[in-house]
Structure 1
Amino acid sequence: MLRIYSVTIELLRRLRPIIEKIGGKDANLADQLRRAATSVPLNLHEGAYSQGRNERARWHTAMGSAAEVRACLDVAEALGYVDRVDEELRNKLDHLVGTLHRLTRR
């Protein structure tokens, strides 16, 4: 299993209270954030057990979902649904996207 998988699970744990807070103001955005966030480890893990183009496609999907998580957090901040999102969380997302980018280039 890829080591980055455990990072994705930790990100989900850290996102849970943020998703709940956003849900109190905008159920649609919270749902989109939740779906994007859960897509990351699911596609990452599926890609780890796939081959060839399927492997790369799952990692591309995971990378796109991670970028969508970042965008959802930006939107939630801009609309005042949450206070400033923790920089450590943003850095972990950036690290995840960077790792997935490297995986898709192998």
Structure 2
Amino acid sequence: MALRIYGVAIEMLRLLRPVIQRIGTKDPNLGDQLRRAAASVPLNLSEGAYSQGRNERARWHTAMGSAAEVRACLDVAEALGYVNTLNEELRSKLDHVIGTLHRLTRR
């Protein structure tokens, strides 16, 4: 299951690329925080896929926390007027990643 969600996370990252760039022109710090959090999701998914026991679960938690941070960065950017309403496909992929990670951390 984790490796399938990895592909969704990469696709989410591709959809985020122009958003990260747009936010970065308005607020470089928020853009950088969003970029780091977004990159952390697939990196920790991949690391978790090749870990065992508590390390595996810890990587899923880290990936989920980073995905939640991505969502918060996007909410802040919208609230501050840096971006308009975000692409529904992007939101859907982000929700999918978070939901899957939530299930993985509860097994």
TM range (shorter): over 0.9
Query: How do 1:69-88 residues align onto structure 2 when only pairs under 5 Å count?
Result: 69-88=70-89
What residue is the counterpart of 2:93 in the other structure? Answer: 92
Runs of 4+ in structure 1 over 4 Å off: none
SS in 2 for 1:80: coil
Q: Does 1:57 align with 2:69?
A: no
Q: Deviations over 1:56-106 (max 9, x none)?
A: 000000000001101100000000001111122111111110100111111
One-letter amino acid of the structure 2 residue matched with residue 49 of structure 1 = Y
Q: Distance in 2 between matches of 1:25 and 1:54?
A: 37
1:20 is displaced (CA, Å) by: 0.4
Q: Percent identity?
A: 81
SS in 1 for 2:82: coil
1:27 is displaced (CA, Å) by: 0.2
**For the aligned residues, what is the CA RMSD?**
0.8
What residue is the counterpart of 1:15 in the other structure? Answer: 16
Q: Aligned pairs, how many?
A: 106
Point out where structure 1 has 5 or more consecutive residues left out of the alignment.
none
Q: Distance in 2 between matches of 1:97 and 1:60?
A: 10
SS in 1 for 2:3: coil
